[in-house]
Amino acid sequence: MRFGVVQKYRSFLPVNPGTPLITLGEGDTPLVQSTRIAREIGCDQLYFKLEGCNPTGSFKDRGMVMAVAKAIEEGSKAIICASTGNTSASAAAYAAHCGLAAAVVVPSGYVALGKLTQALMHGAQVLAIEGNFDQALQMVRTIVGRHPITLVNSLNPYRLEGQKTAAFEVVDALGAAPDYLFIPVGNAGNITAYWRGFVEYRRTGKSDSLPRMMGFEAEGAAAIVRGKPVAQPTTIATAIRIGNPASWRGAEQAREESGGLIDAIADDAIIEAYHLLANGEGLFVEPASAAGVAGLLKLARRGQDFSGKTVVCVLTGSGLKDPDTAMKTVPGMVAVPADVASIEKELGY
């Protein structure tokens, strides 16, 4: 039996007797030790937090379960979000679980196939606009001001409350906070939530140190790095194709308070890390999830020494979300005649 993050961490969350303890089994995701990348960068305490193991295949479930629980507590019957894909998949799943209506507004042509499939399968109303995520979010904000429907983007404060449980799990698993946390940055909610989680755990005596927060935006969508919104964000990592992050201030605060950094990472470096994770570590993540690892490789190759440090990279979503990007960037299959000799020949025997 899995209790989920709302019940497990209820003393750290806005849970009261009227809050339904709903769950799809989110949280309690594996923290797996690196093999190949650890060797490459000379860091023997490198770990990956596998958030793709959540029920809908991304970290979004941690915050969505909390936001939906509070929506039900408050008597809401419908939820809505703008999304680059994973938030919509998660919202649709928790709405289906709880019998709420869900509507999601997504940028047409820029949501990975698996995520769209999930939202549709879970029965959400999926509205694709000829515009980007930032425009979709703006429209959704207007709509929730006019109609009785609950916003479940991370502007909903319960989302980040739920998401901070991932930081708790990292500390629980390691017995201490890591020295560094590497994480992709899109709308900047997750880096904000992790920092809050680490700070709260230290304040309550569950840990006695804090990590440096190392966030990475895609170069074509690097608003925080450049210090101004990007009107037309571009990146192969569609999950983080966001030009005006809602939690911009939270990300800057995490960087400043932790002595960390927020940097930009090019698409080719994201794709390199994406493949290294898949074929060197056995971890198939979606492209956006590789951005933090790409950032770690970039810093290590520039000479930053991670030996003796404990490093955690958050792998935010499953590779199965986006089969199209995977198939476009791998060598093709080999068609062989249906006989043993032909197969042996291809195998080099």
Q: Using CB under 6 A, list all residues that contact ligand AN7.
A: 58, 60, 83-87, 184-190, 239-240, 286, 288-289, 316-317
Structure tokens at 301: 């190759």
Cα separation, 57 vs 114, whole angstroms = 10
Q: Min. distance of Cβ 119 from ligand AN7 in angstroms? A: 10
Nearer to ligand AN7, 19 or 187 (CB): 187
Q: What is the largest CA-CA distance in the chain?
A: 69
Nearer to ligand AN7, 106 or 177 (CB): 106
Q: Min. distance of Cβ 307 from ligand AN7 in angstroms? A: 28
DSSP letters for 163-198:
HTHHHHHHHHHHSS--SEEEEE-SSSHHHHHHHHHH
Q: Which residues pair with 59 in a beta bridge?
A: none
DSSP letters for 108-135:
TT-S-HHHHHHHHHTT-EEEEESS-HHH
Which one-letter amino acid corresponds to residue 205? G
103's CB contacts (< 8 A; 6+ apart) are: 78, 79, 80, 124, 125, 127, 149
Q: Min. distance of Cβ 339 from ligand AN7 in angstroms? A: 43
Kindly report the length of the chain: 349
Q: Min. distance of Cβ 244 from ligand AN7 in angstroms? A: 12
Q: Min. distance of Cβ 52 from ligand AN7 in angstroms? A: 8
Nearer to ligand AN7, 19 or 51 (CB): 51
Cα separation, 121 vs 102, whole angstroms = 12
Q: Min. distance of Cβ 74 from ligand AN7 in angstroms? A: 22
- For strand 310-315 and strand 31-33, is the pairing parallel, antiparallel, or unpaired? unpaired
Nearer to ligand AN7, 43 or 288 (CB): 288
Q: Min. distance of Cβ 58 from ligand AN7 in angstroms? A: 5
235's CB contacts (< 8 A; 6+ apart) are: 218, 219, 220, 221, 241, 267, 270
**Pick from 120, 125, 187: nearest CA to 160:** 187
Nearer to ligand AN7, 185 or 236 (CB): 185
Q: Min. distance of Cβ 10 from ligand AN7 in angstroms? A: 23
Cα separation, 222 vs 132, whole angstroms = 15
Nearer to ligand AN7, 43 or 104 (CB): 104
Nearer to ligand AN7, 142 or 209 (CB): 142
Cα separation, 130 vs 110, whole angstroms = 10
Nearer to ligand AN7, 88 or 207 (CB): 88
